[in-house]
Chain A
Amino acid sequence: MTNQTEPVVVRWLLIGLALVFLGLFLIVPLIAVFSQAFRQGVDVFLQAVSDPNTLAAVKLTLLTAAISVPLNVVFGLAAAWAIAKFSFRGKNVLLTLIDLPFAVSPVISGLIFVLLFGSQGLFGPWLEAHNLKIIFAVPGIVLATTFVTFPFVARELIPVMEAQGKDEEEAALSLGANGWQTFFRITLPNVKWGLLYGVILCNARAMGEFGAVSVVSGHIRGQTNTLPLHVEILYNEYNFVAAFAVATLLAALALVTLVVKSVIEWKTERHEQAGEPQFHAMGEAS
Protein backbone atom coordinates (compact mmCIF):
# COMPACT_ATOMS: atom_id res chain seq x y z
CA MET A 1 0.00 0.00 0.00
CA THR A 2 1.13 3.48 -0.78
CA ASN A 3 1.91 6.08 1.82
CA GLN A 4 0.38 8.77 -0.31
CA THR A 5 -2.78 9.67 1.53
CA GLU A 6 -4.34 12.51 3.44
CA PRO A 7 -3.82 13.41 7.11
CA VAL A 8 -6.28 11.67 9.42
CA VAL A 9 -8.14 14.93 10.12
CA VAL A 10 -8.73 15.63 6.45
CA ARG A 11 -9.75 12.04 5.86
CA TRP A 12 -12.41 12.07 8.55
CA LEU A 13 -13.56 15.52 7.49
CA LEU A 14 -14.16 14.22 3.96
CA ILE A 15 -15.86 11.07 5.22
CA GLY A 16 -18.04 13.19 7.51
CA LEU A 17 -19.00 15.57 4.73
CA ALA A 18 -19.92 12.70 2.40
CA LEU A 19 -21.99 11.04 5.13
CA VAL A 20 -23.86 14.27 5.94
CA PHE A 21 -24.71 14.71 2.26
CA LEU A 22 -25.89 11.12 1.90
CA GLY A 23 -27.73 11.38 5.20
CA LEU A 24 -29.69 14.48 4.23
CA PHE A 25 -30.66 13.21 0.80
CA LEU A 26 -30.94 9.44 1.18
CA ILE A 27 -31.05 8.13 4.69
CA VAL A 28 -33.36 10.66 6.38
CA PRO A 29 -36.03 10.27 3.64
CA LEU A 30 -35.82 6.50 3.93
CA ILE A 31 -36.27 6.63 7.70
CA ALA A 32 -39.07 9.14 7.28
CA VAL A 33 -41.10 6.67 5.19
CA PHE A 34 -41.09 4.06 7.95
CA SER A 35 -41.50 6.52 10.81
CA GLN A 36 -44.50 8.25 9.20
CA ALA A 37 -46.12 4.91 8.42
CA PHE A 38 -46.02 3.80 12.05
CA ARG A 39 -46.81 7.21 13.52
CA GLN A 40 -50.24 6.14 14.67
CA GLY A 41 -49.24 2.64 15.66
CA VAL A 42 -49.08 -0.79 14.14
CA ASP A 43 -52.85 -1.25 13.97
CA VAL A 44 -53.40 1.75 11.72
CA PHE A 45 -50.51 0.58 9.59
CA LEU A 46 -51.93 -2.92 9.22
CA GLN A 47 -55.35 -1.54 8.45
CA ALA A 48 -53.96 0.61 5.64
CA VAL A 49 -51.96 -2.21 4.20
CA SER A 50 -54.77 -4.73 4.28
CA ASP A 51 -57.32 -2.39 2.74
CA PRO A 52 -58.98 -4.08 -0.29
CA ASN A 53 -57.88 -1.25 -2.58
CA THR A 54 -54.29 -1.68 -1.42
CA LEU A 55 -54.44 -5.41 -2.02
CA ALA A 56 -55.84 -4.82 -5.49
CA ALA A 57 -52.97 -2.42 -6.18
CA VAL A 58 -50.46 -5.02 -4.97
CA LYS A 59 -52.00 -7.58 -7.28
CA LEU A 60 -51.92 -5.28 -10.30
CA THR A 61 -48.33 -4.26 -9.58
CA LEU A 62 -47.25 -7.91 -9.38
CA LEU A 63 -49.16 -8.77 -12.55
CA THR A 64 -47.55 -5.88 -14.46
CA ALA A 65 -44.06 -6.91 -13.39
CA ALA A 66 -44.82 -10.56 -14.14
CA ILE A 67 -45.55 -9.63 -17.77
CA SER A 68 -43.04 -6.82 -18.43
CA VAL A 69 -39.98 -8.40 -16.86
CA PRO A 70 -40.08 -11.72 -18.79
CA LEU A 71 -40.73 -9.84 -22.04
CA ASN A 72 -37.67 -7.70 -21.48
CA VAL A 73 -35.59 -10.69 -20.38
CA VAL A 74 -36.26 -12.48 -23.67
CA PHE A 75 -35.50 -9.28 -25.55
CA GLY A 76 -32.37 -8.66 -23.49
CA LEU A 77 -31.00 -12.15 -24.17
CA ALA A 78 -31.72 -11.91 -27.89
CA ALA A 79 -30.25 -8.42 -28.22
CA ALA A 80 -27.16 -9.29 -26.18
CA TRP A 81 -26.51 -12.42 -28.22
CA ALA A 82 -26.80 -10.53 -31.52
CA ILE A 83 -24.79 -7.52 -30.36
CA ALA A 84 -22.10 -9.14 -28.23
CA LYS A 85 -21.34 -12.25 -30.26
CA PHE A 86 -21.40 -10.82 -33.78
CA SER A 87 -19.92 -7.83 -35.51
CA PHE A 88 -22.04 -5.85 -37.93
CA ARG A 89 -22.48 -2.35 -39.23
CA GLY A 90 -24.62 0.04 -37.23
CA LYS A 91 -24.02 -1.64 -33.89
CA ASN A 92 -23.55 1.71 -32.13
CA VAL A 93 -26.76 3.06 -33.62
CA LEU A 94 -28.62 0.01 -32.36
CA LEU A 95 -27.12 0.45 -28.89
CA THR A 96 -28.22 4.09 -28.82
CA LEU A 97 -31.74 3.12 -29.92
CA ILE A 98 -31.95 0.55 -27.12
CA ASP A 99 -31.05 3.34 -24.66
CA LEU A 100 -33.86 5.58 -25.91
CA PRO A 101 -36.42 4.75 -23.21
CA PHE A 102 -33.88 5.83 -20.56
CA ALA A 103 -33.70 9.26 -22.16
CA VAL A 104 -37.44 9.78 -22.51
CA SER A 105 -39.35 11.45 -19.69
CA PRO A 106 -41.76 8.99 -18.04
CA VAL A 107 -44.64 11.32 -18.79
CA ILE A 108 -43.80 11.22 -22.48
CA SER A 109 -43.47 7.44 -22.30
CA GLY A 110 -47.09 7.32 -21.21
CA LEU A 111 -48.18 10.01 -23.65
CA ILE A 112 -47.03 8.11 -26.75
CA PHE A 113 -49.27 5.18 -25.88
CA VAL A 114 -52.20 7.53 -25.32
CA LEU A 115 -51.52 8.95 -28.78
CA LEU A 116 -51.51 5.43 -30.22
CA PHE A 117 -54.36 3.75 -28.38
CA GLY A 118 -56.32 6.55 -26.65
CA SER A 119 -59.84 7.45 -27.79
CA GLN A 120 -58.43 10.26 -29.95
CA GLY A 121 -55.37 8.19 -30.84
CA LEU A 122 -54.25 6.51 -34.03
CA PHE A 123 -55.91 3.16 -33.30
CA GLY A 124 -58.54 4.63 -30.93
CA PRO A 125 -61.55 4.40 -33.23
CA TRP A 126 -60.65 0.87 -34.34
CA LEU A 127 -60.23 -0.29 -30.75
CA GLU A 128 -63.52 1.29 -29.75
CA ALA A 129 -65.29 -0.39 -32.64
CA HIS A 130 -64.00 -3.74 -31.45
CA ASN A 131 -64.74 -2.93 -27.83
CA LEU A 132 -61.12 -3.20 -26.78
CA LYS A 133 -59.62 -0.98 -24.12
CA ILE A 134 -55.91 -0.35 -23.73
CA ILE A 135 -55.64 3.13 -22.30
CA PHE A 136 -57.16 3.58 -18.81
CA ALA A 137 -56.95 -0.19 -18.53
CA VAL A 138 -54.45 -2.88 -17.58
CA PRO A 139 -52.93 -3.41 -21.07
CA GLY A 140 -51.89 0.25 -21.19
CA ILE A 141 -50.20 -0.02 -17.80
CA VAL A 142 -48.31 -3.11 -18.92
CA LEU A 143 -47.29 -1.47 -22.21
CA ALA A 144 -46.01 1.72 -20.58
CA THR A 145 -44.15 -0.28 -17.93
CA THR A 146 -42.55 -2.53 -20.55
CA PHE A 147 -41.46 0.56 -22.49
CA VAL A 148 -39.91 2.22 -19.46
CA THR A 149 -38.04 -0.92 -18.35
CA PHE A 150 -37.09 -1.91 -21.89
CA PRO A 151 -33.28 -1.35 -21.76
CA PHE A 152 -32.46 -2.75 -18.30
CA VAL A 153 -31.72 -6.41 -19.03
CA ALA A 154 -30.10 -5.79 -22.41
CA ARG A 155 -27.85 -3.08 -20.98
CA GLU A 156 -26.61 -5.37 -18.20
CA LEU A 157 -26.11 -8.40 -20.43
CA ILE A 158 -24.35 -6.83 -23.43
CA PRO A 159 -21.11 -5.85 -21.62
CA VAL A 160 -21.03 -9.13 -19.70
CA MET A 161 -21.41 -11.20 -22.87
CA GLU A 162 -18.91 -9.05 -24.70
CA ALA A 163 -16.36 -9.56 -21.94
CA GLN A 164 -16.83 -13.33 -22.11
CA GLY A 165 -15.84 -13.47 -25.78
CA LYS A 166 -16.73 -16.26 -28.16
CA ASP A 167 -14.09 -18.86 -27.30
CA GLU A 168 -16.22 -21.00 -25.03
CA GLU A 169 -19.10 -21.06 -27.51
CA GLU A 170 -16.75 -21.99 -30.32
CA ALA A 171 -15.24 -24.72 -28.18
CA ALA A 172 -18.72 -26.10 -27.47
CA LEU A 173 -19.59 -26.09 -31.18
CA SER A 174 -16.32 -27.82 -32.06
CA LEU A 175 -17.23 -30.51 -29.52
CA GLY A 176 -20.50 -31.13 -31.34
CA ALA A 177 -23.01 -29.05 -29.35
CA ASN A 178 -25.82 -27.43 -31.33
CA GLY A 179 -26.93 -23.80 -31.02
CA TRP A 180 -29.46 -24.30 -28.21
CA GLN A 181 -27.16 -26.60 -26.26
CA THR A 182 -24.41 -24.01 -26.56
CA PHE A 183 -26.72 -21.24 -25.39
CA PHE A 184 -28.31 -23.04 -22.46
CA ARG A 185 -25.27 -24.95 -21.25
CA ILE A 186 -22.44 -22.48 -21.89
CA THR A 187 -23.65 -18.93 -22.48
CA LEU A 188 -26.53 -18.73 -19.99
CA PRO A 189 -24.62 -20.13 -16.98
CA ASN A 190 -21.80 -17.72 -17.76
CA VAL A 191 -24.03 -14.65 -17.71
CA LYS A 192 -26.37 -15.72 -14.92
CA TRP A 193 -25.25 -13.05 -12.45
CA GLY A 194 -25.47 -10.32 -15.05
CA LEU A 195 -28.92 -11.55 -15.98
CA LEU A 196 -30.09 -11.64 -12.38
CA TYR A 197 -28.71 -8.12 -11.89
CA GLY A 198 -30.64 -6.87 -14.89
CA VAL A 199 -33.82 -8.64 -13.77
CA ILE A 200 -33.60 -7.14 -10.28
CA LEU A 201 -33.21 -3.59 -11.60
CA CYS A 202 -35.87 -4.13 -14.25
CA ASN A 203 -38.27 -5.46 -11.65
CA ALA A 204 -37.66 -2.60 -9.23
CA ARG A 205 -38.45 -0.07 -11.93
CA ALA A 206 -41.44 -2.05 -13.22
CA MET A 207 -43.03 -2.16 -9.78
CA GLY A 208 -42.13 1.42 -8.93
CA GLU A 209 -42.87 3.25 -12.17
CA PHE A 210 -45.05 6.26 -11.55
CA GLY A 211 -45.09 8.90 -14.31
CA ALA A 212 -45.71 6.72 -17.34
CA VAL A 213 -48.27 4.57 -15.59
CA SER A 214 -49.98 7.65 -14.18
CA VAL A 215 -50.63 8.94 -17.72
CA VAL A 216 -52.20 5.74 -19.04
CA SER A 217 -53.96 4.38 -15.97
CA GLY A 218 -56.97 6.60 -15.39
CA HIS A 219 -56.58 6.05 -11.64
CA ILE A 220 -59.56 3.77 -11.22
CA ARG A 221 -59.42 2.54 -7.68
CA GLY A 222 -59.28 -1.21 -7.27
CA GLN A 223 -58.89 -1.63 -11.01
CA THR A 224 -56.14 0.38 -12.63
CA ASN A 225 -54.20 1.50 -9.60
CA THR A 226 -50.71 0.24 -9.12
CA LEU A 227 -48.99 0.67 -5.76
CA PRO A 228 -47.22 3.96 -6.60
CA LEU A 229 -50.48 5.41 -7.94
CA HIS A 230 -52.28 4.26 -4.84
CA VAL A 231 -49.71 6.09 -2.72
CA GLU A 232 -50.38 9.26 -4.68
CA ILE A 233 -54.16 9.03 -4.26
CA LEU A 234 -53.94 8.45 -0.53
CA TYR A 235 -51.45 11.30 -0.16
CA ASN A 236 -53.60 13.72 -2.14
CA GLU A 237 -56.54 12.81 0.11
CA TYR A 238 -54.39 13.88 3.06
CA ASN A 239 -54.49 10.30 4.29
CA PHE A 240 -50.77 10.55 5.06
CA VAL A 241 -50.41 7.58 7.36
CA ALA A 242 -52.01 5.24 4.85
CA ALA A 243 -49.95 6.72 2.03
CA PHE A 244 -46.74 6.10 3.95
CA ALA A 245 -47.90 2.66 5.02
CA VAL A 246 -48.33 1.63 1.39
CA ALA A 247 -45.03 3.37 0.61
CA THR A 248 -43.24 1.11 3.09
CA LEU A 249 -44.12 -1.86 0.90
CA LEU A 250 -42.34 -0.18 -2.01
CA ALA A 251 -39.45 0.97 0.18
CA ALA A 252 -39.01 -2.60 1.41
CA LEU A 253 -38.91 -3.74 -2.19
CA ALA A 254 -36.20 -1.15 -2.86
CA LEU A 255 -34.16 -2.36 0.11
CA VAL A 256 -34.43 -5.99 -1.00
CA THR A 257 -33.33 -4.90 -4.47
CA LEU A 258 -30.30 -3.13 -3.05
CA VAL A 259 -29.32 -6.11 -0.91
CA VAL A 260 -29.60 -8.59 -3.79
CA LYS A 261 -27.70 -6.17 -6.01
CA SER A 262 -24.86 -5.88 -3.48
CA VAL A 263 -24.72 -9.64 -3.06
CA ILE A 264 -24.43 -10.10 -6.83
CA GLU A 265 -21.71 -7.46 -7.04
CA TRP A 266 -19.83 -9.13 -4.23
CA LYS A 267 -20.21 -12.57 -5.85
CA THR A 268 -19.09 -11.52 -9.30
CA GLU A 269 -16.10 -9.68 -7.89
CA ARG A 270 -15.06 -12.88 -6.17
CA HIS A 271 -15.64 -14.83 -9.36
CA GLU A 272 -13.39 -12.50 -11.27
CA GLN A 273 -10.66 -12.91 -8.71
CA ALA A 274 -10.98 -16.68 -8.80
CA GLY A 275 -10.62 -16.51 -12.56
CA GLU A 276 -7.11 -15.18 -12.20
CA PRO A 277 -4.40 -17.82 -12.40
CA GLN A 278 -3.64 -17.41 -8.73
CA PHE A 279 -2.88 -21.10 -8.31
CA HIS A 280 -0.04 -20.92 -10.72
CA ALA A 281 2.48 -21.61 -8.01
CA MET A 282 0.89 -24.96 -7.27
CA GLY A 283 3.31 -26.57 -9.68
CA GLU A 284 2.99 -29.01 -12.49
CA ALA A 285 1.80 -32.55 -11.96
CA SER A 286 3.73 -33.90 -14.91
Chain B
Amino acid sequence: MNKRKRAKWILPGFGLTMGYTVIYLSLLVLIPLSVLFLKTSSMTWEQFIDTVLNRRVIASFQVSFLTSFFAACLNAVFGVLVAWVLARYQFPGKRVIDGIVDLPFALPTAVAGIALASIYAENGWIGQWFAVWGIKIAYTPLGIFVALTFIGLPFVVRTVQPVLQDWDRQVEEAAATLGATRWQTFTRVILPHLLPAVVTGFALAFARALGEYGSVVFISGNMPLKTEIVPLLIMTKLEQFDYTGATAIASVMLVASFVMLLVINYLQWKTNKLNAARSEG
Protein backbone atom coordinates (compact mmCIF):
# COMPACT_ATOMS: atom_id res chain seq x y z
CA MET B 1 0.00 0.00 0.00
CA ASN B 2 2.66 2.39 1.11
CA LYS B 3 4.78 1.42 -1.85
CA ARG B 4 1.98 1.99 -4.34
CA LYS B 5 1.31 5.42 -2.94
CA ARG B 6 4.93 6.31 -3.20
CA ALA B 7 4.98 4.98 -6.72
CA LYS B 8 2.51 7.62 -7.82
CA TRP B 9 3.96 10.90 -6.52
CA ILE B 10 7.50 11.86 -5.75
CA LEU B 11 6.68 15.00 -3.76
CA PRO B 12 5.14 14.09 -0.41
CA GLY B 13 1.93 15.31 1.16
CA PHE B 14 -0.64 14.92 -1.58
CA GLY B 15 -2.92 12.72 0.51
CA LEU B 16 -2.73 14.98 3.53
CA THR B 17 -3.27 18.30 1.75
CA MET B 18 -5.89 17.00 -0.67
CA GLY B 19 -7.77 15.31 2.14
CA TYR B 20 -7.73 18.46 4.25
CA THR B 21 -8.79 20.60 1.28
CA VAL B 22 -11.76 18.41 0.44
CA ILE B 23 -12.92 18.02 4.05
CA TYR B 24 -12.63 21.72 4.86
CA LEU B 25 -14.31 22.68 1.59
CA SER B 26 -17.15 20.24 2.24
CA LEU B 27 -17.76 21.22 5.84
CA LEU B 28 -17.56 24.96 5.38
CA VAL B 29 -18.93 25.49 1.88
CA LEU B 30 -20.53 22.55 0.14
CA ILE B 31 -22.68 21.14 2.94
CA PRO B 32 -23.98 24.54 4.12
CA LEU B 33 -24.81 25.55 0.54
CA SER B 34 -26.61 22.29 -0.15
CA VAL B 35 -28.80 22.88 2.89
CA LEU B 36 -30.28 25.81 0.99
CA PHE B 37 -31.51 23.50 -1.75
CA LEU B 38 -32.58 20.90 0.79
CA LYS B 39 -34.76 23.49 2.48
CA THR B 40 -36.16 24.67 -0.86
CA SER B 41 -37.03 21.13 -1.86
CA SER B 42 -39.19 20.81 1.25
CA MET B 43 -41.58 23.34 -0.29
CA THR B 44 -44.26 22.21 -2.69
CA TRP B 45 -43.96 23.36 -6.29
CA GLU B 46 -46.96 25.71 -5.92
CA GLN B 47 -45.53 27.28 -2.80
CA PHE B 48 -42.25 27.82 -4.52
CA ILE B 49 -43.82 29.36 -7.62
CA ASP B 50 -46.10 31.56 -5.50
CA THR B 51 -43.15 32.87 -3.51
CA VAL B 52 -40.85 33.43 -6.43
CA LEU B 53 -43.38 34.90 -8.82
CA ASN B 54 -44.77 37.29 -6.26
CA ARG B 55 -44.99 40.85 -7.63
CA ARG B 56 -42.59 42.23 -5.07
CA VAL B 57 -40.06 39.47 -5.74
CA ILE B 58 -40.21 39.94 -9.50
CA ALA B 59 -39.79 43.68 -9.06
CA SER B 60 -36.75 43.20 -6.85
CA PHE B 61 -35.14 40.88 -9.39
CA GLN B 62 -35.81 43.52 -12.03
CA VAL B 63 -34.21 46.24 -9.96
CA SER B 64 -31.21 44.06 -9.12
CA PHE B 65 -30.55 42.88 -12.66
CA LEU B 66 -31.06 46.24 -14.36
CA THR B 67 -28.98 48.31 -11.94
CA SER B 68 -26.21 45.66 -11.88
CA PHE B 69 -26.21 45.51 -15.66
CA PHE B 70 -25.96 49.27 -16.18
CA ALA B 71 -23.32 49.61 -13.46
CA ALA B 72 -21.25 46.88 -15.10
CA CYS B 73 -21.65 48.63 -18.47
CA LEU B 74 -20.40 51.95 -17.07
CA ASN B 75 -17.50 50.09 -15.46
CA ALA B 76 -16.65 48.36 -18.72
CA VAL B 77 -16.28 51.68 -20.53
CA PHE B 78 -14.46 53.56 -17.79
CA GLY B 79 -12.54 50.46 -16.74
CA VAL B 80 -10.90 50.32 -20.16
CA LEU B 81 -10.19 54.04 -19.98
CA VAL B 82 -8.60 53.83 -16.53
CA ALA B 83 -6.61 50.73 -17.48
CA TRP B 84 -5.41 52.48 -20.62
CA VAL B 85 -4.34 55.61 -18.79
CA LEU B 86 -2.55 53.59 -16.09
CA ALA B 87 -0.81 51.29 -18.54
CA ARG B 88 0.20 53.87 -21.12
CA TYR B 89 0.67 57.33 -19.69
CA GLN B 90 2.92 58.89 -17.09
CA PHE B 91 1.45 61.53 -14.82
CA PRO B 92 2.11 62.73 -11.28
CA GLY B 93 0.46 60.62 -8.60
CA LYS B 94 0.06 57.64 -10.87
CA ARG B 95 1.23 55.15 -8.25
CA VAL B 96 -1.33 56.43 -5.75
CA ILE B 97 -4.12 56.32 -8.31
CA ASP B 98 -3.10 52.81 -9.31
CA GLY B 99 -3.28 51.73 -5.68
CA ILE B 100 -6.57 53.45 -4.93
CA VAL B 101 -8.38 51.61 -7.75
CA ASP B 102 -8.57 48.64 -5.39
CA LEU B 103 -10.29 50.69 -2.69
CA PRO B 104 -13.67 48.97 -3.24
CA PHE B 105 -11.98 45.63 -2.48
CA ALA B 106 -10.51 46.92 0.75
CA LEU B 107 -13.15 49.32 2.07
CA PRO B 108 -15.92 47.64 4.09
CA THR B 109 -19.18 47.93 2.17
CA ALA B 110 -21.01 49.53 5.06
CA VAL B 111 -18.51 52.38 5.08
CA ALA B 112 -18.86 52.80 1.34
CA GLY B 113 -22.62 52.77 1.73
CA ILE B 114 -22.87 55.57 4.28
CA ALA B 115 -20.24 57.64 2.48
CA LEU B 116 -21.97 57.38 -0.88
CA ALA B 117 -25.39 58.05 0.71
CA SER B 118 -24.11 61.22 2.34
CA ILE B 119 -22.43 62.71 -0.74
CA TYR B 120 -25.07 61.73 -3.29
CA ALA B 121 -27.98 62.89 -1.08
CA GLU B 122 -29.89 66.00 -2.21
CA ASN B 123 -27.86 68.18 0.13
CA GLY B 124 -24.63 66.19 -0.29
CA TRP B 125 -21.39 67.35 -1.92
CA ILE B 126 -22.25 65.89 -5.30
CA GLY B 127 -25.99 65.35 -4.96
CA GLN B 128 -26.71 69.09 -4.66
CA TRP B 129 -25.37 69.77 -8.15
CA PHE B 130 -27.74 67.21 -9.60
CA ALA B 131 -30.62 68.43 -7.42
CA VAL B 132 -30.42 71.75 -9.26
CA TRP B 133 -31.48 69.90 -12.40
CA GLY B 134 -34.15 68.02 -10.52
CA ILE B 135 -32.21 64.77 -10.51
CA LYS B 136 -32.36 62.76 -7.30
CA ILE B 137 -29.65 60.14 -6.86
CA ALA B 138 -29.78 58.83 -3.32
CA TYR B 139 -32.93 56.84 -2.45
CA THR B 140 -33.71 56.17 -6.13
CA PRO B 141 -32.58 53.39 -8.51
CA LEU B 142 -29.88 55.84 -9.60
CA GLY B 143 -28.41 55.60 -6.10
CA ILE B 144 -28.28 51.80 -6.34
CA PHE B 145 -26.53 52.25 -9.67
CA VAL B 146 -23.93 54.55 -8.06
CA ALA B 147 -23.23 52.07 -5.23
CA LEU B 148 -22.93 49.13 -7.61
CA THR B 149 -20.60 51.11 -9.86
CA PHE B 150 -18.36 51.73 -6.86
CA ILE B 151 -18.39 48.03 -5.90
CA GLY B 152 -17.59 46.80 -9.42
CA LEU B 153 -15.06 49.46 -10.35
CA PRO B 154 -11.80 47.50 -9.93
CA PHE B 155 -12.84 44.41 -11.90
CA VAL B 156 -12.57 45.65 -15.48
CA VAL B 157 -9.48 47.75 -14.69
CA ARG B 158 -7.68 44.79 -13.15
CA THR B 159 -8.52 42.35 -15.93
CA VAL B 160 -7.68 44.74 -18.78
CA GLN B 161 -4.56 46.38 -17.30
CA PRO B 162 -2.26 43.30 -17.43
CA VAL B 163 -3.32 42.55 -21.01
CA LEU B 164 -2.41 46.10 -22.00
CA GLN B 165 0.91 45.91 -20.16
CA ASP B 166 1.88 42.67 -21.92
CA TRP B 167 0.74 44.00 -25.26
CA ASP B 168 3.43 44.01 -27.92
CA ARG B 169 3.61 47.59 -29.16
CA GLN B 170 5.27 46.53 -32.38
CA VAL B 171 1.82 45.48 -33.52
CA GLU B 172 0.73 49.12 -33.27
CA GLU B 173 3.82 50.19 -35.15
CA ALA B 174 2.96 47.65 -37.80
CA ALA B 175 -0.54 49.09 -38.06
CA ALA B 176 0.92 52.57 -38.41
CA THR B 177 3.31 51.50 -41.17
CA LEU B 178 0.28 50.10 -42.98
CA GLY B 179 -1.37 53.52 -42.85
CA ALA B 180 -3.84 53.15 -39.97
CA THR B 181 -4.73 56.19 -37.86
CA ARG B 182 -4.50 55.96 -34.07
CA TRP B 183 -8.25 55.59 -33.81
CA GLN B 184 -8.31 52.84 -36.44
CA THR B 185 -5.45 51.10 -34.68
CA PHE B 186 -7.32 51.28 -31.40
CA THR B 187 -10.69 50.08 -32.65
CA ARG B 188 -9.46 47.48 -35.13
CA VAL B 189 -6.24 46.16 -33.61
CA ILE B 190 -6.10 46.85 -29.87
CA LEU B 191 -9.75 46.66 -28.84
CA PRO B 192 -10.40 43.20 -30.34
CA HIS B 193 -7.40 41.96 -28.38
CA LEU B 194 -8.76 43.48 -25.16
CA LEU B 195 -12.32 42.30 -25.65
CA PRO B 196 -12.09 38.91 -23.87
CA ALA B 197 -10.60 40.63 -20.81
CA VAL B 198 -13.27 43.36 -20.91
CA VAL B 199 -16.05 40.76 -21.08
CA THR B 200 -14.52 38.82 -18.19
CA GLY B 201 -14.22 41.99 -16.12
CA PHE B 202 -17.79 42.94 -17.00
CA ALA B 203 -19.07 39.53 -15.91
CA LEU B 204 -17.14 39.72 -12.63
CA ALA B 205 -18.49 43.20 -11.89
CA PHE B 206 -22.02 42.15 -12.80
CA ALA B 207 -21.88 39.03 -10.59
CA ARG B 208 -20.50 41.00 -7.67
CA ALA B 209 -23.18 43.69 -8.08
CA LEU B 210 -26.02 41.16 -8.14
CA GLY B 211 -25.20 39.90 -4.67
CA GLU B 212 -24.12 43.21 -3.13
CA TYR B 213 -25.93 44.28 0.02
CA GLY B 214 -23.91 46.47 2.37
CA SER B 215 -23.23 49.46 0.18
CA VAL B 216 -26.70 49.49 -1.36
CA VAL B 217 -28.96 49.44 1.70
CA PHE B 218 -27.87 52.87 2.85
CA ILE B 219 -28.34 54.66 -0.45
CA SER B 220 -31.31 52.81 -1.99
CA GLY B 221 -34.17 53.92 0.26
CA ASN B 222 -35.44 50.32 0.26
CA MET B 223 -38.90 51.00 -1.14
CA PRO B 224 -40.66 47.77 -2.11
CA LEU B 225 -41.33 47.52 -5.87
CA LYS B 226 -39.06 50.52 -6.56
CA THR B 227 -35.70 50.41 -4.88
CA GLU B 228 -35.67 47.04 -3.20
CA ILE B 229 -32.88 44.71 -4.36
CA VAL B 230 -33.01 40.92 -4.00
CA PRO B 231 -30.52 40.54 -1.12
CA LEU B 232 -32.49 43.14 0.83
CA LEU B 233 -35.74 41.29 0.18
CA ILE B 234 -34.16 38.08 1.51
CA MET B 235 -33.05 40.02 4.57
CA THR B 236 -36.56 41.43 5.09
CA LYS B 237 -38.12 37.97 4.86
CA LEU B 238 -35.59 36.69 7.40
CA GLU B 239 -36.45 39.48 9.80
CA GLN B 240 -40.10 38.45 9.51
CA PHE B 241 -38.99 34.86 10.26
CA ASP B 242 -40.26 33.78 6.83
CA TYR B 243 -37.37 31.33 6.38
CA THR B 244 -38.95 29.34 3.55
CA GLY B 245 -39.68 32.49 1.56
CA ALA B 246 -36.15 33.76 2.05
CA THR B 247 -34.73 30.38 1.09
CA ALA B 248 -36.80 30.12 -2.08
CA ILE B 249 -35.65 33.53 -3.32
CA ALA B 250 -32.09 32.77 -2.26
CA SER B 251 -32.02 29.53 -4.21
CA VAL B 252 -33.09 31.32 -7.41
CA MET B 253 -30.43 33.91 -6.76
CA LEU B 254 -27.84 31.22 -6.06
CA VAL B 255 -28.55 29.40 -9.31
CA ALA B 256 -28.09 32.71 -11.15
CA SER B 257 -24.76 33.19 -9.35
CA PHE B 258 -23.60 29.66 -10.24
CA VAL B 259 -24.39 30.28 -13.88
CA MET B 260 -22.40 33.52 -13.71
CA LEU B 261 -19.49 31.70 -12.06
CA LEU B 262 -19.43 29.04 -14.77
CA VAL B 263 -19.59 31.70 -17.48
CA ILE B 264 -16.74 33.62 -15.85
CA ASN B 265 -14.56 30.54 -15.44
CA TYR B 266 -15.23 29.60 -19.04
CA LEU B 267 -14.33 33.11 -20.20
CA GLN B 268 -11.13 33.17 -18.18
CA TRP B 269 -10.14 29.74 -19.40
CA LYS B 270 -10.77 30.83 -22.98
CA THR B 271 -8.88 34.10 -22.55
CA ASN B 272 -5.89 32.27 -21.12
CA LYS B 273 -5.93 29.78 -23.94
CA LEU B 274 -6.24 32.54 -26.50
CA ASN B 275 -3.37 34.49 -25.00
CA ALA B 276 -1.20 31.39 -24.78
CA ALA B 277 -1.90 30.62 -28.43
CA ARG B 278 -1.16 34.21 -29.36
CA SER B 279 2.13 34.39 -27.52
CA GLU B 280 3.21 31.16 -29.20
CA GLY B 281 2.12 32.30 -32.62
A residues lining the B interface (CB < 8 Å): 2-6, 11, 14-15, 17-19, 21-22, 24-30, 32-33, 36, 74-75, 77-79, 81-83, 85-86, 88, 92, 94-108, 111-116, 118, 120, 122, 143, 146-147, 150, 166, 169-170, 173, 178-179, 182-183, 201, 204, 207-211, 214-215, 227-229, 231-232, 235, 240, 243-244, 247, 250-251, 253-255, 257-259, 261-262
Contact = CB atoms under 8 A, between A and B. Distances in A.
Interface residues of B, number: 93
Interface stretch (B51-59, B77-85, B194-202): B77-85
Contacts of A6: 182
20 contacts: A2-B172, A4-B176, A14-B84, A14-B89, A30-B100, A32-B118, A32-B125, A82-B13, A82-B18, A96-B261, A97-B25, A103-B207, A103-B261, A104-B33, A105-B253, A106-B211, A111-B238, A115-B35, A115-B243, A120-B241
Interface of B: 9-14, 16-18, 20-21, 24-25, 28-30, 32-33, 35-36, 38-39, 78, 81-82, 84-86, 88-89, 91, 95, 97-112, 114-116, 118-119, 125-126, 146, 149-150, 153, 169-170, 172-173, 176, 182, 185, 207, 210-214, 218, 230-232, 234-235, 238, 241, 243, 246-247, 250, 253-254, 257-258, 260-262, 265, 269
Nearest to B230: A105
A95 to B, nearest CB: 8
B21 A18 contact: no
B209 to A, nearest CB: 10
A46 B236 CA distance: 34
A83 B146 CA distance: 39
Contacts of B35: 112, 115-116, 122
A104 B211 contact: yes
The binding surface of chain B is classed by DSSP as helix
Contact of A231 (B111, B185, B211, B234): B111
B115 A33 contact: yes
The binding surface of chain A is classed by DSSP as helix
Given A18-B78, A82-B17, 12 more contacts: A4-B172, A26-B153, A29-B115, A36-B115, A75-B20, A100-B29, A103-B258, A105-B257, A111-B247, A115-B243, A208-B110, A227-B108
A253 B149 CA distance: 22
Contacts of B99: 258-259, 261-262
A14 B88 CA distance: 11
Contacts of A112: 32-33, 35-36
Contacts of B214: 106, 210-211, 214, 228
A115 B261 contact: no
**Shortest beta-carbon contacts, A-B, top 7:** A208-B108, A105-B211, A210-B214, A179-B12, A211-B213, A254-B106, A29-B115
A95 B100 CA distance: 29
A82 B210 contact: no
A129 to B, nearest CB: 20
B257 to A, nearest CB: 4
A97 B24 contact: no
B11 A173 contact: yes
B251 to A, nearest CB: 9
A96 B214 CA distance: 25
Given A15-B91, A82-B21, A211-B231, A30 B109 contact: no
A211 B112 CA distance: 13
